[in-house]
Amino acid sequence: MSTKYIWYKNRYKGVGFMRKIAIIGGVAGGASAAARLRRHSEEDKIIMFEKGPHVSFSNCCLPYHLSGVVDSAEKLVLMSPEKFAAQYNIDARVNNEVIDIDRKNKELTIKNTLNGETYKESYDKLILSMGAKPIVPKFKGIENVNLFTIRNVVDIDKLNKFIKNSEKKNVVVIGGGFIGVETAENLKEAGYNVTLIEAANQILKVFDYDMVQILHKEIYDKGVNLIVEDKVIEFQKDCVVLESGKKIEAQAVVLAIGVAPEVDLARKAGIELGKTGAIKVDQNYLTSDRDIYAVGDAIEVYNALYNDYFKLALAGPAQKQARGVADHINGMRIDNRGYIGSSVIKVFSYNGAATGLTENIIKEKNLSIDYETVEAIPSDGVKLMPTSKSMHFKLIYEVPTGRVLGAQAIGKGNVSKRIDVIATVIKFGGTVDDLKDLELCYAPPFGTAKDVVNFSGYIATNLLSGSYKQLHFSKVRELVENGEYIVDVREKNEYAAGHINGAVNIPLSEIRDRIAELPTDRKIYVQCKSGQRSYNVCLLLQNLGFKEVYNVTAGFMGICYYEYFNDIRLNRKPIMNKYNFN
């Protein structure tokens, strides 16, 4: 325990001193800060102001009310003002909106949203936890549709009751971020006709374009009308009009194109905003006013990988920040090492998780990072186990240091475990050699003796050492169009079940006897189901003197997942005679 912390305790205990700590906003940031503050001190007066009717609710579970997974809106409410008072002696005031901060006199002006009356409340320390608000552009004809946003329990309850009482069941969700995708999924599970519209060329930008195609396919296969690279330009009567000219019938429209940090109150009070437009804070989450802290979706945070500030609207970081603020108010040191952004999402039958840098981020921010990627589709358990599933895994690492920069995993099994391991490695500055050396839990139902994480480390170190060369599966269409030589080393029955047009089938079990059939005057691209057998063939051929040999990453399965959705939406000719996703 620090000397400063003891000093605070001695000063504020036993001498009748009571600090008044005000918190604007509840949920992940505000409510967590309030509870932690109370654990530090019984003397302090803690007041939490929430402009809505619920001070603590599960905002991450909101979309799951639409499908009935959470069967009543009331269950989304975690803590009532009465519970806060009884269990923590915290004064939680709902329907109380702070409309002004007088920093000079350290006084708040609060409006009761039910009767419009205003009153004043002083503070010694103030915590801003206003969160972020849905972005609602001024679309032409916005009054022609029943428009909804999702931010709180009131919002989701209103949407759910409306669509249940609607005779027609056509719902359009605009925006392919976390909220948009989860909303589309849960509406579809509830039996509605759902269209999901994303103006960019992909949903869920936390995943790279090559990885997200798996989720595009899943959403399409589950019956959602997924539209990408087409934006909304106006609304007509119960109709969404797109730039392409498409018109989508909609009795309800859910707008989920993104959120903006709630900074109006802070800006009005003269609190400094950062380069991203969110509230600027220091390493202790203090704002430009030394008595005012800020946490959660309203602030910008430091990225530990590319050394700049960004907005991170996630509950986990908000709770960590809230705890840190409560500790700092009580004289404790905060260990703020920045953020890397770790997330996970369920999309129908698939789970997707990501951490750290993506190729999207590196390219969009024009980062001066020399990097390479690993793409593989190993099993997440021993294949004899009925629970074993294929896992699409992508690792991003720095060249030549091997420092781990990020990873993404998508599959029907436990992807978050693997990404949590990578996130931990990143936090401690680990390299691909560390991934090889990690001792991870193993039993047949849970993993393989060489886990997915270890496997990615093996591949990355092989690439760093120059053991072999690879070609990303996204480049295979170009190979086919240019008539390049592709050898498919799967067995004959696998080849018959689907193959790349023009690929020559020489199974691994036969290739040593058929070496003479391979060209010596051109590049050879070796492909199998997932990239493992083809890797072995690449080494075999190199050992026999072949120079220009390339392993196609993730194999035929990766190619099929990458090509499928775009083949359908663009109505283009497939590069394979049949898809095979098994």
* DSSP at 180: H
Return the closest-CA partner of residue 376 out of 396, 392, 390: 392
Burial code of 101-135, b = ≥16 C-beta within 10 A, e = fewer?
Answer: beeeebebebbeeeeeeeeebebebbbbbbbbbbe
How far is Cα 300 from Cα 568, in angstroms, rounded to an integer? 39
Angle separating helix axes 555-569 and 209-221, nearest 10 degrees = 60
How far is Cα 180 from Cα 195, in angstroms, rounded to an integer? 11
Return the closest-CA partner of residue 262 out of 139, 184, 152: 152
How many residues are listed for the chain in this entry? Answer: 582
Return the closest-CA partner of residue 580 out of 546, 541, 535, 530: 530
Residue 213: is it exposed, middle or buried by C-beta count within 10 angstroms (0-12/13-18/19+)? buried
Phi, psi (5° rounding) for residue 242?
-105, 165
Tell me, letter by letter, the H, E, C secondary structure of 259-296: EEECCHHHHHCCCCECCCCCECCCCCCECCCCCEEECH
How far is Cα 55 from Cα 57, in angstroms, rounded to an integer? 7
Sheet architecture: strand order including 96-102: 96-102, 107-112, 118-122
Going 151 to 157 to 160 to 162, the CA torsion angle's sign is negative
CA 186 to chain centre: 18
How far is Cα 228 from Cα 206, in angstroms, rounded to an integer? 16
Catalytic residues: 528
Dihedral angle over CA of 487, 488, 491, 495, nearest 10: -130
Give the residues across from 49 on adjacent strands. Answer: 24, 93
CA 254 to chain centre: 20
Beta 549-552 vs 524-527: how paired, if at all? parallel
Q: Would you tell me how many other CB atoms lie within 10 Å of the CB of residue 332? A: 16
How far is Cα 474 from Cα 215, in angstroms, rounded to an integer? 16
Distances in whole angstroms, Cα of residue 518 to Cα of each of 414, 489, 540: 40, 12, 13
SS3 95: coil
Contact criterion met (CB below 8 Å) for 159 and 252: yes
SS3 388: coil
